[in-house]
Structure 1
Amino acid sequence: MLWACIALPRLALDAVLRRVPDPSRPLALVSGPAQLRHLHAVNAAAAEAGLKPGMRLSAAHALLSDVAMVEYDPASEARWQRFLAAWAYRHSSQVSARWPGAIVLEVRASFRLFGPWPRFEARLREELEGLGFSHRIALAPTPRAARVFAGLRDGFAVTGEGAMREALARVPVRRAALPGNAGERLQRMGVHTLGDLRMLPRDGLRRRFGVELLEHLDRLHGDADDPLALYAPPDHFDGRIDLGFEVESHQALLFPLRRLIVDLATYLSARDGGVQRFTLRLEHEARHALPSHEADQVQHDAVRFTEVPVGLLAAERDAGLLFELTRNRLEQVALPAPVIGLRLLARELPPFVPAERDLFDTRPAQAVPWPQLRERLRARLGDEAVHRVAPSGDPRPERAWRRADAGEDGDAACLAPAPRRPPRPAWLLPRPVPLRDPRLRIVSGPERLESGWWDGDDARRDYYVLETSRGQRAWAFAPPGEREGWMLHGWFA
């Protein structure tokens, strides 16, 4: 087996930067008790001004007064690690987020799908950069070795166990992710590398450092199995962005909304599924009272929010389409109060079936497939504005069709064989009108139609295909058994 480790050295900071409109402005994460506030992480602009992790908050304000401060949230960091584990699941069936700030995945089985490791690695880096997360990647035969190498050298790759052991022998003990403070203690004892550590008697190491150190070394070098808790994707998506300030316009919500939709599309791609219904929640502060007559506005003691439901006729997972549909729905909602957060909930995740395409597709490059155009029209004009024409089974021509919902399955009507009928005109008149022409010629007919006795609109007609003196093909009927008093009902093309 071959394991790739994706180290995420700035996971908490990147999770905040990807939701702010201008990530180039100085920003820092703050943690610690109220009397000992300090910087947990800083972005590049803040670092250039002299700010660094561990600095006291008062000293940071003295150096840079306009730096943006965001509270460090360990729970949010853990959620983003799980999100990236879901992203990695699209590349491998064996993914683990066991260690904080890192994800490991088995990649040898994926080479046949994604190509050799250099191409696979480039794909991982490209997608991570698109998601907005800085990273370091390393490859090794064991997950623990890959994690150690990722912390030492970005891009390091070793595929053989012998080469891995030689590389590990040169790793400093303080950088070997040893359990507890064993690395610092061994360094003070004069043991500088893992090679030196492996030469020491195991009984003495067990008495001084416990069995955990020996188990770590065995699993690190591949001498013992390393049982990892593998990631299993959840059956729903729940993403949230805290805006950090009050937003009173739809336009200012589009940037964080796009981020949420991209995250949803990434999650769906990892599951190889789609979404058909989801809800966007616009969160408001509790002090803002919402109108009680609005059906889509919910109030609780702690949270007040406005719900924007988004429904599709078929499962989709294209980020651009989902964003456009959600934006159109959002723009139709009046904001009853300033928005302080966005939350996207998707619980119905049916399988995604891509639309069938011809091998030699002759559509223009800018043409929109019908399913996407249908969804855009429904989002912009309303669900009731788009419908289709479906057969009703009534033999009377004026009642042979009905208005059906755009998402209604029309395949069921096609399962039963349709009765064989003579040709029907392409142009059916709204109501029959008298046909007066002294030189009518009967082309075919009659076709007897007797129906409607059950609803009081009985129809007894003989239909003919007629040719007029001008060469037009008409579809007309007369009373049964007669060939006069023609009523025109349609024209053939």
Structure 2
Amino acid sequence: MLWACILLPQLAMDGVQRHRASPDEPLVLLTGSPQRRVLQAVNPAARALGLKPGQSLTAAQALTRGFATAEYDLAAIERWQQFLAAWAYGFSAQVSLHYPRCLLLEVQSSLGLFGPWPRFEARLRAELSALAFQHRIAVAPNPAAARVLVNIGDGLMASDERMLKQMLDPLPVDRLGLSATLTTAFNRMGLRQLRQLLALPRDSLAKRFPGEVLRHLDTLSGQRPLALDFFVPANVFDTRIELNFEVESHQALLFPLRRLTADLAAYLACRDSGVQRFTLHLEHRAGADTQIQVGLLSAERDPGMLFELTRGRLEHQQLPAPVLAVRLEARELPTFAPQHQQLFDERPQQNQPWEQLRERLRARLGDEALHGLGARADHRPEHAWLNEPANPLLPPGGPRPGWLLSEPQPLREASLRILSGPERIESGWWDGEDVRRDYYVVQTRAGQRGWAYRPVGSDGPLLLHGWFA
């Protein structure tokens, strides 16, 4: 087996920055009591100003005032770990959050689907970067060794036990994941590398040190399996973004909205699901939330499409009060069946598939503004069509024109050519609009194809009832 460990070194900071429109702005995360606020994490822009973790907020403000602050939220870190575990679930059925700020996933069984490891790794990195999370990745035959390797370097890979031993042997003892007390004891004895520990008799180690030392060494070498609890994705997507200030315009809500719909799309992809209905909550300081219901005619998960549809609904909503937070909730996640596509896309680049165009029109114009044509069980042409809400066309039996005239018009062209017919239609006796007609497909001198009829028993001219495309 091969295990990948994805270390998220700045998870708390990334979780805050990805919701901000200007990620290059100096930002610090605060912890501690109200009387003594301490900088828990700083981004590179804040570090360039001389700020560093462990400083008090008072000392930081004495240096500079040009930085923003946010709370270091442990609950938010847990939510982001769950979100990223759900994302990783789309690549492997065995995903674990055994180590803090890390994702463990078994990748050997996924190589046949995602390609060799370099290609697989590039895809993982591209998607993590698109989600705005810093990361480091290492691979080893067991998860404990992968965790140790990712702590000493990015991109390391031990594909077998022999290569793993070569990489682990020279490691300093203080990089093995042992407690600080044990590390200090080994260093005082002159044992500074893993190979020196492994060279000692196991009996001596067992007598002089706690049992966790041998257990940890056996786990690193793969002789003792690491017990893992595997992640199972939730059946509900519910994510909230708290805004930095009160927002009164739709335009200022587009950035958090784009982030929410992108997260929803990533979550749906990991579950191999789509979404057909979800709710956007706009939270205000007082009063009930403004709820915007977004419904689609079929399950979708394209991030651009979800954003455009939600944006269209949002722009039709009048904001009753400034918005303090935005929340997206999706509880119905049906199975997603992707559309079959041609090997070569013959559509012009600026065109859209019909499904996306249909949903965009519904979002912009409203649910009742878009209609489709349906067929009714009636042979009379003027009664055989009906409007249906954006459903695909159900063609009636036999050739029928796509354009029916509101009133039939006489055809007096001398060179009219009859292509087929007659087709007799006798119907409508039950509603007082009885018709008895013989229909013909005709062609004019200009090459137009029409649908014309003559009442049964009449010798008059043909009456044009519709044109074929």
TM over 0.5: yes
The match for 1:294 is none
Q: What CA deviation, in whole Å up to 9, does each residue of 1:268-317 have, x standing for no partner?
A: 222222221111111112xx24xxxxxxxxx3xxxxx1111111112221
Report how far residue 116 of structure 1 moved. Answer: 2.5
Q: What CA deviation, in whole Å up to 9, does each residue of 1:55-94 have, x standing for no partner?
A: 1221111112232111110110011111111222222222
Whether contact under 8 Å (1:462, 1:481) holds in the other structure is no
Matched, 1:374 2:358: yes
The match for 1:149 is 149
Report how far residue 360 of structure 1 moved. Answer: 3.8
State, as a whole percentage, how many aligned pairs show the same letter: 56
Alignment partner of 1:393 out of 377, 392, 397: 377
Distance 1:434 1:54, change over 3 A: same
Q: What CA deviation, in whole Å up to 9, does each residue of 1:343-383 have, x standing for no partner?
A: 11112222222223333433212211111111111111111
Matched, 1:39 2:23: no
Matched, 1:6 2:6: yes
**In structure 1, how many angstroms separate the alpha carbons of the residues matched to 2:446 and 2:55?**
94
**In structure 1, how many angstroms separate the alpha carbons of the residues matched to 2:447 and 2:311?**
54
Q: What CA deviation, in whole Å up to 9, does each residue of 1:383-439 have, x standing for no partner?
A: 111111111121011011111111x466xx68xxx75x4x44454221234566799
Whether contact under 8 Å (1:175, 1:183) holds in the other structure is no
More displaced, 85-94 or 428-437? 428-437
More displaced, 61-70 or 452-461? 452-461
Distance 1:204 1:339, change over 3 A: farther
**In structure 1, how many angstroms separate the alpha carbons of the residues matched to 2:164 and 2:54?**
35
Alignment partner of 2:404 out of 418, 424, 428: 428
Report how far residue 481 of structure 1 moved. Answer: 3.2
Matched, 1:125 2:125: yes
Instruction: Indicate the SS of the match to 2:21.
Output: coil
1:35-434 alignment, distance < 5 Å: 35-178=35-178, 181-187=181-187, 190-200=190-200, 202=202, 210-285=210-285, 288-289=286-287, 299=288, 305-406=289-390, 408=391, 419=397, 421=398, 423-433=399-409
Report how far residue 213 of structure 1 moved. Answer: 3.7
More displaced, 268-277 or 326-335? 268-277
RMSD: 2.8
Instruction: Indicate the SS of the match to 2:368.
Output: helix
**In structure 2, how many angstroms separate the alpha carbons of the residues matched to 1:140 and 1:199?**
22
The match for 1:451 is 427
Report how far residue 13 of structure 1 moved. Answer: 0.5
More displaced, 483-492 or 359-368? 483-492
Distance 1:44 1:405, change over 3 A: same
Report how far residue 158 of structure 1 moved. Answer: 1.4
One-letter amino acid of the structure 1 residue matched with residue 178 of structure 2: L
Instruction: Indicate the SS of the match to 1:376.
Output: helix
Q: What CA deviation, in whole Å up to 9, does each residue of 1:126-155 have, x standing for no partner?
A: 222222111111111111111111111122
Report how far residue 449 of structure 1 moved. Answer: 2.2
One-letter amino acid of the structure 1 residue matched with residue 300 of structure 2: E
Normalization by structure 2: what TM-score? 0.91
Distance 1:95 1:462, change over 3 A: same
**In structure 2, how many angstroms separate the alpha carbons of the residues matched to 1:213 and 1:116?**
35
Whether contact under 8 Å (2:42, 2:53) holds in the other structure is yes
More displaced, 181-190 or 128-137? 181-190
Whether contact under 8 Å (2:402, 2:467) holds in the other structure is yes
The match for 1:295 is none
Matched length = 469
Structure 1 segments unaligned to the other structure (5+ residues): 290-298, 300-304
**In structure 2, how many angstroms separate the alpha carbons of the residues matched to 1:197 and 1:174?**
12
Distance 1:433 1:154, change over 3 A: closer
**In structure 2, how many angstroms separate the alpha carbons of the residues matched to 1:144 and 1:335?**
51
Whether contact under 8 Å (1:179, 1:213) holds in the other structure is no
Whether contact under 8 Å (1:27, 1:45) holds in the other structure is yes
**In structure 1, how many angstroms separate the alpha carbons of the residues matched to 2:442 and 2:301?**
52
**In structure 1, how many angstroms separate the alpha carbons of the residues matched to 2:366 and 2:284?**
26
Report how far residue 335 of structure 1 moved. Answer: 1.0
Whether contact under 8 Å (2:372, 2:392) holds in the other structure is no
Whether contact under 8 Å (1:439, 1:468) holds in the other structure is yes
**In structure 2, how many angstroms separate the alpha carbons of the residues matched to 1:138 and 1:488?**
74
Instruction: Indicate the SS of the match to 1:54.
Output: coil
Distance 1:182 1:338, change over 3 A: farther
Q: What CA deviation, in whole Å up to 9, does each residue of 1:185-209 have, x standing for no partner?
A: 5445554333333445556655665
Instruction: Indicate the SS of the match to 2:233.
Output: coil
Instruction: Indicate the SS of the match to 1:118.
Output: helix
